[in-house]
Amino acid sequence: MKLKAEIQSEFGGLDAFVNNAVARPMKRYTDPLDCWKSSMDINASGMFDIVREMADLIEQKDGGSIVNIGSMQGMFGPDFSLYEGTEMDSPPDYHFHKGGMIALTKYLARKFGPKNIRVNCISPGGLYSGQDEAFVERYNKKVPLGRMAGHDDIKGVVVFLAAQASSYITGENILMDGGLHA
């Protein structure tokens, strides 16, 4: 992998890796099976491949942290009432991959703990990205904090899990949903 070689050459390894990549080839439950297969190739196989490569680089630095970005949708089924009257849907592949990421986080925490590599997951929910107004209004009414998450809301948790401040935390999934599931 070219990226791995460049990081190795320039930095001699890696202290932390934030795994925040996802593709969304599937838009609806009724999409063709080829969309599901494409999602599996990218979001399951691709994600596993890069985590494995980056873990090697962290091991070369005598330990560090992997922070996976999951989703509350990997923990809970969708509230389809939020989508009524919109063009939006909650595709099943996303739930599948994010649930799998949480399980893989726990597996990797056990696998890499003896190598001084901590592996944790953050599962944000309700990240605002220009969703339909009706969806946003319904969603905000259900969240105790009364709003969707902004792009800056996750930074503090990422920094904490990547830093030595969390040196005794591994295998955890932190739900970050504004209290929706409190």
Angstrom CA distances, 123 to 86, 154, 163, 164, 172, stand at 24, 10, 18, 21, 10
| Cα dihedral 137→138→140→144 (10° resolution) | 150
Active-site residue identified among 2, 37, 65, 94: 94
65 annotated active-site:
no
Identify whether 94 is a catalytic site residue: yes
Residue 1 has pLDDT above 90, yes or no: no
Residue 28 and residue 142: Cα distance in Å, rounded? 23
Query: pLDDT tens-digit profile of 83-128?
Result: 999 999 999 999 999 999 999 999 999 999 999 999 999 999 999 9
Quickly tell me which residue has 């890069």 as its tokens. 50
List of residues 6+ apart from 107 with CB closer than 8 A? none
CATH of 2-176, one of 3.40.50.720, 2.40.160.40, 3.30.2310.20, 3.30.70.920: 3.40.50.720
Question: What is d(CA 25, CA 6) in angstroms, rounded to the nearest whole number?
Answer: 29
- The closest of 107, 134, 133 to 120, measured between CA atoms, is 107
123 is catalytic: no
Among candidate residues 2, 45, 61, 71, the one labeled active-site is 71
What are the pLDDT digits (tens) for 123-180?
999 999 999 999 999 999 999 999 999 989 999 999 999 999 999 999 999 999 999 9
> Per-domain residue ranges for the chain?
2-176
This prediction has a pTM of: 0.95
